[in-house]
A = this chain, B = another copy of it.
């Protein structure tokens, strides 16, 4: 597997920290430079202690000056700006990517300002959780998990290949699709589930919490995620989220109608449809 002299991670939380740990544990990078909001951020200090990064940089130009690859793991609404700030300061041929949960808006903002000789390809590791911060980072976070990369017609084939190799070297299964296809699918498989979990949690009186069991607990688990991050994600992917939500509302209406009419046959069919999809995934 290809190893790197210097990898720079902008935003060292759950995802960025796990990339650092995985690179170092697998002996894939000599230097891992971390950049945060300030040199004394708790995440950066913890990342250095745990060996996820080997150095802390004070700003993007300094931190990416020797980077062979830069991964931007900041909140989705800041990613494009950070990628572009890195792009003007990196050596020729440095590969740039990100780890944002939405892709079309980020990729189009970056490509609109990028020079022809720069090397950016978007990524989205499907390995987030309601937990955040370096505290929950793990060297094995990407093992067996899917990472989606989103090249466009402006992407050089060798950059897409290098990025595939990068995530594969951390143990991930890499899928390739356009930013638009990514955002449409993830609206349903990730963004809508978050909205639903938060809505269910939001209508539950706290007094009823002792009367919840495994079901409520599972359905609402991700509602514990960071409201700031998820506000940005839902707004960045607004059109697709609303389309997925419409499909969900229609299905809920079908349930309502079956229950109102006492139609056991229809209700059983709706429940069976859900079970078949869920069973196809496994635990």
Contacts and interface: CB of A to CB of B under 8 A. Distances in A.
Given A271-B227, A281-B212, A193 B189 contact: no
Contacts of A272: 227
B196 A231 contact: no
B274 A210 contact: no
17 contacts: A128-B213, A129-B214, A188-B203, A188-B208, A196-B252, A197-B274, A198-B270, A198-B275, A212-B281, A221-B278, A223-B275, A224-B275, A227-B272, A231-B271, A235-B259, A235-B264, A245-B252
A216 interface: yes
Interface in A190-207: 190, 192-206
A126 interface: yes
A2 B273 CA distance: 46
A37 to B, nearest CB: 19
Copies assembled: 2
A232 B264 CA distance: 8
A1 interface: no
Contacts of A40: none
A207 to B, nearest CB: 9
A145 interface: yes
Nearest to A197: B219
A206 B280 contact: yes
B281 A259 contact: no
B211 A146 contact: yes
Interface of A: 126-129, 145-146, 148, 175, 185-186, 188-190, 192-206, 208-225, 227-228, 230-232, 234-235, 238, 241-242, 244-245, 247-249, 251-252, 255-256, 259-260, 262, 264, 267-268, 270-275, 277-281
Contact of A201 (B211, B249, B275): B275
A12 to B, nearest CB: 21
Given A192-B200, A219-B196, A241-B259, A224 B278 contact: yes
A218 B215 contact: no
Contacts of A242: 256, 259-260
Contact of A268 (B192, B227, B245, B259): B227
Contact of A200 (B193, B198, B214, B275): B193
A218 B219 contact: yes
B211 A238 contact: no
B210 A277 contact: no
Contact of A279 (B188, B197, B224, B241): B224
A238 to B, nearest CB: 6
